[in-house]
């Protein structure tokens, strides 16, 4: 099952980041130039620009994998503590400062167990090398996206497993393509030919020789095996590297376009008139009808990373396609196909597996409709994982405790439901799993009153009420009062096909994904470029995040910032008292408000209060910040008396602190 959590939210977050650092217009330009067929021979200057490096830091910081150390044992937090200018200078030095050019550190190999007892090798680069890979990916992605096929869905912006499953459903049910050719490439990521990959990048007009040299050095970075010895790879791109998914799509993009050239985009279709649908996509029904009378093989590809399916209309076409594609992969890409897992499936008679789902057609009247379930491996794995976690609830690990184990169980349930709800018969699968899990829950947690499951517990959150509030199977632990989410309470979701006009690198395409930033972006860019000497990279990045989160307004007064000089970034807990530059410890306020937070002299306080004229709520916010900074709060009654004496006011002001 591909690792994908809230792809839409992640894509929106990535777009926001690019807008913060004013890189979105640059990426749009790269995308447009790539579509026009321009050659890119000077990309390293853009890759090593300050804005791109700081954007890369921000994107890595928001990734949970940034906490995983490489062979040098450093994490993204170690980079965040350094001054921003030092981070930029060091990245440039690593890439260009060595006598032999860029030399990445060794990649830490980690073996991930698979359900079949085997392991999946992952490569974890050092954090500085990850930062460099992210810089490269940000610049290369818009160029490659303009060249990629519309039939690939894995590890691409604004595309997801849901879109791939929707495409499969549409092709087998609406288009009547009943024969699915299942392919399995042996160890794809470990067998990518480096020279072939560099030539493919060159054919995409990425012809910056310095960049291609850096990519080749990344591919040939030594791998530190679990026993400590180093291996120098001659082929492959390690899973776990930030740039690896993009390079994998570059390799298989040639396959996508070759399959499309056999039928979907065959030159003969241009000889026939066509119309466009509401989304602006051409409808070549007349051309395809005429092409079916020829010897051409009708085939359509749906690919998610290295997992792909080719759909055909007849069994003969499917068998010919299997032979042709297998030969093409071997001769063209030097990739070996597993004969045991490569086959032709008639979905009217048996299931075809794809991305953790098993899919077939069942007869309904005179038509065939899609019927899908969890695949058998996924079913067994999900059941075993949930049962195991129930045992952890009864005997909690010291690092988590009972509540922590329940939260982990609940997150597992939600993750399973979010992914597999695309299956038409997922309710049947989850009901069967739910019955088995419920039995284990009752048996494991019945001993002792403290572990008994109850029908009442703590109040549910709004999201919990929306999701599980009507379930009769919802139970609570007697001691912690925490709810245990029912895996069986699920409803099928119809997968949504990809909108053709959605694109992360055009203003029109982005409008389908998110709204523009609701603030003064000019001031945001000025703030981004404003020099803050000796400030850490984390501080500089969080300052921009706060400006967006506060919509360009003071956290105390609510007034809109008018210039960079007005903006002061305040540490709620001063660094002298142990405070850090983390996001939660910072807040943006107006300059006089910042001065008032730290002011202790009565005359200074009075003069600034007379200028600001804070109301009761604003004063309460100010006092909370003063208390966090261990400064005596301002007494609202004293302020009221002074205001009454100076202005003749008689209105009583209530005490807030």
More confident residue, 48 or 508: 48
- The DSSP 8-state label assigned to residue 506 in this structure reads S
Residue 554's pLDDT is: 94
Q: What integer is the mean pLDDT of 548-553? A: 88
Residue 653's pLDDT is: 38
Q: Count the helix, strand and coil residues of the chain and give each as a percent rounded to the nearest 5.
A: 50, 15, 40
| Sheet with 367-374, edge to edge strand ranges | 352-354, 357-364, 367-374
Strands 586-590 and 567-571: antiparallel
Residue 651's pLDDT is: 40
Strands 107-113 and 223-224: parallel
Residue 623's pLDDT is: 92
Separation of alpha carbons 416 and 421, rounded Å = 8
Is residue 657 scored above 80 in pLDDT? Answer: no
Q: What integer is the mean pLDDT of 206-227? A: 93
Is residue 496 scored above 60 in pLDDT? Answer: yes
Residue 520's pLDDT is: 64
Separation of alpha carbons 384 and 545, rounded Å = 41
Residue 446's pLDDT is: 72
Strands 223-224 and 179-182: unpaired
> Under 8 Å CB-to-CB from 316, ≥6 apart: which residues?
none
DSSP H/E element including 32: helix 24-35
Whole-angstrom Cα Rg for the chain: 29
Structure tokens that stand for 172 in this block:
């087998």
- pLDDT tens, position by position, 372-411: 999 999 999 999 999 999 988 888 888 888 889 999 999 9
Is residue 67 scored above 70 in pLDDT? Answer: yes
Structure tokens that stand for 289 in this block:
């009808």
Separation of alpha carbons 633 and 628, rounded Å = 10
Is residue 450 scored above 70 in pLDDT? Answer: no
> Under 8 Å CB-to-CB from 114, ≥6 apart: which residues?
120
Separation of alpha carbons 298 and 292, rounded Å = 8
Is residue 149 scored above 60 in pLDDT? Answer: yes
Q: What's the N-to-C CA distance of the chain in angstroms?
A: 54
More confident residue, 111 or 39: 39
- pLDDT tens, position by position, 304-348: 999 999 999 999 999 999 999 999 999 999 999 999 899 999 999
pTM as predicted: 0.85
Separation of alpha carbons 120 and 110, rounded Å = 8
> Under 8 Å CB-to-CB from 564, ≥6 apart: which residues?
523, 526, 527, 530
Residue 647's pLDDT is: 46
Residue 2's pLDDT is: 46
Separation of alpha carbons 121 and 249, rounded Å = 19
More confident residue, 648 or 411: 411
Residues of the chain above pLDDT 70, percent? 90
**Predicted confidence band at 634 (pLDDT cuts at 50, 70, 90)?**
confident
Length of the chain: 657
Q: What integer is the mean pLDDT of 149-154? A: 93
Is residue 646 scored above 90 in pLDDT? Answer: no
Mean pLDDT of the chain: 87
DSSP codes joined into one string, 541-566: HHHHHHHHHTTTB-TTT-PBP-SGGG
Residue 603's pLDDT is: 87
Q: What integer is the mean pLDDT of 453-463? A: 88
Structure tokens that stand for 431 in this block:
């009901």
Separation of alpha carbons 157 and 9, rounded Å = 11
Is residue 466 scored above 50 in pLDDT? Answer: yes
Alpha-carbon dihedral sign for residues 200, 204, 207, 212: negative
Q: What integer is the mean pLDDT of 481-506? A: 88
Is residue 430 scored above 80 in pLDDT? Answer: yes
- CA proximity to 516, closest of 8, 119, 16: 16
Residue 648's pLDDT is: 44
Structure tokens that stand for 602 in this block:
């009565």
Classify 311 as helix, strand or coil: strand
Which of these ranges, 114-123, 179-188, 195-204, 568-577, has the smallest mean pLDDT?
A: 114-123
Which of these ranges, 169-173, 257-261, 612-616, has the smallest mean pLDDT?
A: 612-616
**Predicted confidence band at 451 (pLDDT cuts at 50, 70, 90)?**
low
470-474 long-range contacts (CB < 8 A, ≥24 apart) are 473/434, 473/438
- pLDDT tens, position by position, 282-295: 777 777 777 887 88
Residue 14 in contact with residue 134, Cβ under 8 Å? no
**Predicted confidence band at 557 (pLDDT cuts at 50, 70, 90)?**
very high
Separation of alpha carbons 242 and 125, rounded Å = 9
Is residue 581 scored above 50 in pLDDT? Answer: yes
Structure tokens that stand for 491 in this block:
């409803």
Is residue 534 scored above 90 in pLDDT? Answer: no
Separation of alpha carbons 12 and 468, rounded Å = 27
Phi, psi angle pair for 116, to nearest 5°: -80, 5
Residue 518's pLDDT is: 58
Separation of alpha carbons 153 and 164, rounded Å = 6
Cβ burial 272-293 (10 Å sphere, 16+ → b, else e) = eeeeeeeeeeeebeebbeebee
Separation of alpha carbons 257 and 234, rounded Å = 27
Residue 596's pLDDT is: 93
**Predicted confidence band at 118 (pLDDT cuts at 50, 70, 90)?**
confident
- pLDDT tens, position by position, 163-194: 999 999 999 998 889 999 999 999 898 899 99
Residue 619's pLDDT is: 92
458-462 long-range contacts (CB < 8 A, ≥24 apart) are 458/482, 458/483
């Amino acid at each position: 099952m591909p690792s994908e959590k809230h792809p839409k939210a992640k894509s929106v977050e990535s777009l926001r980041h690019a807008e913060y650092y004013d890189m979105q217009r640059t990426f749009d330009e790269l995308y447009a130039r790539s579509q026009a067929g321009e050659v890119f021979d000077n990309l390293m200057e853009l890759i090593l620009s300050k804005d791109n490096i700081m954007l890369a830091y921000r994107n890595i910081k928001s990734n949970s994998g940034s906490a995983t150390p490489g062979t040098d044992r450093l994490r993204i937090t170690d980079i965040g503590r350094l001054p921003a200018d030092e981070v930029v200078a060091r990245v440039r030095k690593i890439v260009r400062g060595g006598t032999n050019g860029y030399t990445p550190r060794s990649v830490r190999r980690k073996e991930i167990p698979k359900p079949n007892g085997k392991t999946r090798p992952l490569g974890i680069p050092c954090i500085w090398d990850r930062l460099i890979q992210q810089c490269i990916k940000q610049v290369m992605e818009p160029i490659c996206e303009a060249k990629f096929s519309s039939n690939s869905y894995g590890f691409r912006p604004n595309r997801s497993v849901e879109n791939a499953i929707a495409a499969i459903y549409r092709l087998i049910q609406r288009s009547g393509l009943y024969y699915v050719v299942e392919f399995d490439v042996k160890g794809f990521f470990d067998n990518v030919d480096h020279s072939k990959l560099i030539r493919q990048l060159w054919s995409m007009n990425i012809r910056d020789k310095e960049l291609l040299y850096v990519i080749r050095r990344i591919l040939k970075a030594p791998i530190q095996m679990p026993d400590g010895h180093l291996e120098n790879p001659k082929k492959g791109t390690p899973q776990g590297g930030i740039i690896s998914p993009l390079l994998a799509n570059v390799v298989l993009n040639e396959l996508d376009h070759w399959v499309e050239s056999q039928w979907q985009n065959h030159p003969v279709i241009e000889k026939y008139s066509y119309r466009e649908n509401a989304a602006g996509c051409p409808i070549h029904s007349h051309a395809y009808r005429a092409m079916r009378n020829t010897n051409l093989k009708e085939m359509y590809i749906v690919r998610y990373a290295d997992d792909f399916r080719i759909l055909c209309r007849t069994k003969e076409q499917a068998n010919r396609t299997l032979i042709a594609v297998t030969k093409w992969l071997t001769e063209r890409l030097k990739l070996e196909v597993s004969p045991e897992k490569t086959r032709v499936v008639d979905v009217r008679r048996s299931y075809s597996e794809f991305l953790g789902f098993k899919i077939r057609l069942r007869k309904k009247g005179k038509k065939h409709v899609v019927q899908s379930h969890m695949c058998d491996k996924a079913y067994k794995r999900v059941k075993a994982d949930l049962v195991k976690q129930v045992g952890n609830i009864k005997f909690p690990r010291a690092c988590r405790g009972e509540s922590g184990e329940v939260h982990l169980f609940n997150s597992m349930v939600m993750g399973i439901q979010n992914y597999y709800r695309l299956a038409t018969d997922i309710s049947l699968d989850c009901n069967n799993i739910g019955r088995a899990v419920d039995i284990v829950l009752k048996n494991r947690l019945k001993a002792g009153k403290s572990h008994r499951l109850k029908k009442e517990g703590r109040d549910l959150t709004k999201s919990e009420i929306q999701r599980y509030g009507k379930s009769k199977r919802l139970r609570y632990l007697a001691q912690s009062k925490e709810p245990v989410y029912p895996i069986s309470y699920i409803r099928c979701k119809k997968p949504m096909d990809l909108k053709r006009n959605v694109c992360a690198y055009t203003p029109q395409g982005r409008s389908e994904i998110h709204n523009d930033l609701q603030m003064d972006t000019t001031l945001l860019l000025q703030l981004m470029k404003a020099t803050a000497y000796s400030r850490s990279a984390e501080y500089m990045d969080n300052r921009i995040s706060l400006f967006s989160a506060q919509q360009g307004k003071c956290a105390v007064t609510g007034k809109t910032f008018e210039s960079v000089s007005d903006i002061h970034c305040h540490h709620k807990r001063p660094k002298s008292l142990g405070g850090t530059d983390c996001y939660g410890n910072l807040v943006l306020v107006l300059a006089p408000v910042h001065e008032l937070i730290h002011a202790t002299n009565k005359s200074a306080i009075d003069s600034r209060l007379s200028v600001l004229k804070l109301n009761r709520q604003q004063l309460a916010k100010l006092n909370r910040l003063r208390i966090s900074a261990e400064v005596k709060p301002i007494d609202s009654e004293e302020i009221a008396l002074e205001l009454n004496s100076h202005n003749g006011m008689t209105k009583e002001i209530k005490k807030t602190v």
